[in-house]
């Protein structure tokens, strides 16, 4: 157990729907990062939060949004889902703003299947 908790582990939904993925960072970590992993695109950085504030944006679609709450858990919202959104979504956390010294701790991911 890495200490980063992601729920749900698996999600199957239909095209056009909206889903919410949840992440609880490791105790003491203030930064949360979201990644999308698919066979054709590899590991893609989506967005980063530090202590409730957005720090960096990557290849995140406009249909996707995220936030980090006062208790530091984070949610990734995916809307108007398309078949191509099927992927593994990972959350990671770090103590500081960027994980320079310690790297990131990853959760086990949410596998999203859009049918």
What is the C-alpha to C-alpha distance for residues 3 and 111, in angstroms, rounded to an integer?
19
Looking at residues 19 to 38 of the shown chain, list those that interact with another protein (rule: CB under 8 A).
33
Spell 69-85 as b/e; 16+ CB within 10 A means b.
eeebebbbebeebeeeb
Cβ proximity to another protein, 44 vs 79, nearer residue: 44
Does position 2 bind another protein by CB under 8 A?
Answer: yes
Q: How many residues bind another protein (CB under 8 A)?
A: 24
Residues that bind another protein (CB under 8 A): 2, 4, 33, 42-43, 45, 48, 55-56, 90, 92, 97-109
């Amino acid at each position: 157990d890495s200490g980063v908790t992601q729920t749900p582990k698996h999600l199957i939904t239909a095209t056009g729907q909206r889903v919410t993925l949840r992440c609880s960072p490791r105790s003491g970590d203030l930064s949360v990062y979201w990644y999308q992993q698919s066979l054709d695109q590899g590991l893609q950085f989506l967005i980063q939060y530090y202590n409730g504030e957005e720090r960096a944006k990557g290849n995140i679609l406009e249909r996707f949004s995220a936030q980090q709450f006062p208790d530091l858990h984070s949610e990734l919202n995916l809307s108007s889902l398309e078949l191509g959104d099927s992927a593994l979504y990972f959350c990671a956390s770090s103590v500081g703003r960027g994980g320079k010294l310690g790297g990131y701790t990853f959760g086990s991911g949410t596998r999203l299947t859009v049918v």
